[in-house]
Chains A and B, each alone.
Chain A
Amino acid sequence: METGTKKPIDPKQQGRIYELTHSPGQFAESVIEWIIRICGISAIVFVFGIFFFVFREGAAFLFGGLDLVQFLTSTEWYPSSVSNQRYGVLALIVGTISVTILAMVIAVPFGLGAAIFVSEFCGPKLKEVFKVVIELLAAIPSVVWGFIGLQVMNPLIIKYLDAPIGLSVLNGGCILALMSVPIIVSIGEDALKAVPDSYREAAEALGASHWQVVYRVLLPAAKNGLLAAVLLGTGRAIGETMAVLMATGHSVNIPTSLLDSVRTLTATIAAELGEAPVGSDHYQVLFIIGILLFTITFIVNLTADLVIKGISTENDL
């Protein structure tokens, strides 16, 4: 065996080194390490795979036949009209935006408030309890949320707000708010936890009260993390499908009040993909909507990531 060193090596030790570097397991080990590497990049492969396959199904119509300007600016969505099919998704985009905004208006104060309370004002026992309950809240399947919107919220809205139909922006927004609150709480709490204790101690030593510490020190220090929490909650709300499919009613129009029914991008795909013949224009348009959704959520998540990473370079935590 060539060791490449000039100094003679004790043969016993040489044997040991040989055993370590040329053990029969070495080949197996390098195979395993390659498998690990391949699995390691699997997430990248899947993200590209998702984009590729969704794009592939919709590409033919996207580049041949679809008027992109009309697609994005028209409110006329008549995909299965016999004589004149029109594919305008503006009303669907507005539907998604209106439900998401309402959800965030409700979820952000509650979510951030709860994150601050759980992280800063709570004893350790109570903290565990709250975190467990919020985790369970996050685990409720979206179809159950949709069912709640349909069976519980719907009659309540009809009864107390005197609306003709309870499946509306209001209903969907409330359900989505409850669904995105757990994300905001858990990521917001992480962001507050990441602020070093020395910040808190320094502020308390200067005589600040508990609330002053939170308001003047922790919130500014954790603002990027909290913003990321809100962004990820928004991403969840935009991408949610079953709950909005069941709770927002089913009419393609631009809402003028909270009690109007709308339809979102996600719900449209879920509702119509089953009926559209594979390969038809309608089918391809649904995949193009998929590309649109993928792009929107990709940008939201990317922004959230950049915002979070911003913390670690700025504050040098």
Chain B
Amino acid sequence: MEANRQILEAELEREIFTHSQTLFTQTAKSRQEQWIENLVKTTLLILTLLIIFPLILIVGFLFYKSLPILSFEFLFSNPIRGMRAGGVWAPFLGTIYLVVVSLLVATPIGVLAAVYLNEYARNNWATRITNLAVVNLAGVPSIVHALFGLGAFVLFARMGRSILAASLTLAIMTLPVIIASTKEALGAVPMAFREACWNVGASRWQTIRQIVLPNSTSGILTGIILQVSRAAGETAPIMFTGAIFFKALDEGNIFAYNIFDQCMALSMHLFTISTQVPDVPEALPYGTAVVLLGAVLLINAVAILFRVYFRSRKKW
């Protein structure tokens, strides 16, 4: 009886095994499919790597070429001898001024605009047009922003070519960056948080201020950081609204610029010494490019780390 059962079980096992062989061995067709699959995957991987490769190559090459000149002294000394020697202090400080002023203007408007779009706006055609305007504002060419800045701020508002006019132009240009990331951050706050708050009698604004905004700080900060990086790199919008080829400046004085005056800027300086000034030693524009690129990539890296850190801490 017992022996019989064992034989039966063994037979059953064998049967299952052979069936599984036919079920799970590859047929010629599936082998071909597998081959195509691998081919496609490899091709796509190569395409992706070919996009990423230039980034590493370019950053590496620029850095390599600028090695002879890169130092703290380069960053903190002024351009001299008709911008054919010296460092990048004046343009560096100018870029900081432009970025800070544009940040002060763009942040409140951008964050409140996102609050409106996410918390107040109803789902109707007016909201759709507003969203469309944000997308279009992001798509307006930078040189058209420059024309606008020249026409509206420099000439119409009589600001003249100044840090103020250039920063306002930059602020409008980078507004969509802040709106988009703030909107995303606000959208990520669960609806239940708001409902709980309304249920204890809080008004709409109280809910936003006490619950929604504190819970989306990280996303909003990321947007602000990205705005900074974008504003720091732009050239065209500031060329005709406030950036100047050359300005003598006190070294080490961080209050050397007046916001109603023109300033130098890193991006403009790179353009000037690589196209307008003859006989510039080769390392100088490379050094300037690395300072600009380094600053922008560093700011972006901070934004990314920020996002990763806050995402890991998120409780919902």
Contact = CB atoms under 8 A, between A and B. Distances in A.
Residue of B50, B109, B151, B203 ringed by the most chain A CB atoms within 10 A: B151
Interface in B97-156: 108-110, 112-113, 115-117, 120-121, 129-130, 132-137, 139-148, 150-152, 155-156
Contacts of A214: 40
Q: What is the predominant secondary structure among interface residues of chain B facing chain A?
A: helix
Contact of A294 (B120, B144, B172, B268): B144
Interface residues of B, number: 86
B47 A152 contact: no
Contacts of A293: 141, 143-144
A135 interface: yes
B109 A42 contact: yes
A35 B112 CA distance: 8
Interface stretch (A4-12, A64-72, A79-87, A233-241): A233-241
Interface stretch (A195-203, A217-225, A252-260, A270-278): A270-278
B58 interface: yes
Q: Which of B61, B233, B301 neighbours the largest number of chain A CB atoms within 10 Å of its CB?
A: B233
A169 interface: no
A137 B55 contact: yes
B139 A36 contact: no
Interface in B42-64: 43-45, 47-48, 50-52, 54-55, 58, 61-62
A136 B297 contact: yes
Contacts of A15: none
Given A44-B133, A116-B44, A130-B48, A239 B117 contact: no
A297 interface: yes
A305 B135 contact: yes
A142 B143 CA distance: 12
A290 B147 contact: yes
A86 B233 CA distance: 35
A141 B271 contact: no
A53 interface: yes
Interface stretch (B16-24, B81-89, B234-242, B254-262): B234-242
B139 A239 contact: yes
B48 A305 contact: no
B44 A147 contact: no
Contacts of A142: 142, 233-236
Interface string A42-55: 11101101100110
A148 interface: yes
Interface in B193-215: 201, 203-206
Contacts of B141: 238-241, 266, 293-294, 297
A209 interface: yes
A150 interface: yes
Nearest to A174: B54
A124 interface: no
A107 B115 CA distance: 35
B151 A239 contact: no
Contacts of A273: 146-147, 150, 239-240
A143 B147 contact: no
B188 to A, nearest CB: 15
A125 interface: no
A24 interface: no
Interface of A: 20, 29, 32-33, 35-37, 39-44, 46-47, 49-50, 53-54, 56-57, 109-111, 113-114, 116-118, 121, 130, 132-137, 139-144, 146-148, 150-152, 178, 181, 185, 209-212, 214, 232, 235-236, 238-242, 246, 266, 269-270, 273-274, 278, 286-287, 290, 293-294, 297-298, 300-302, 304-305
Given A40-B117, A210-B37, 4 more contacts: A130-B52, A141-B234, A211-B33, A266-B236
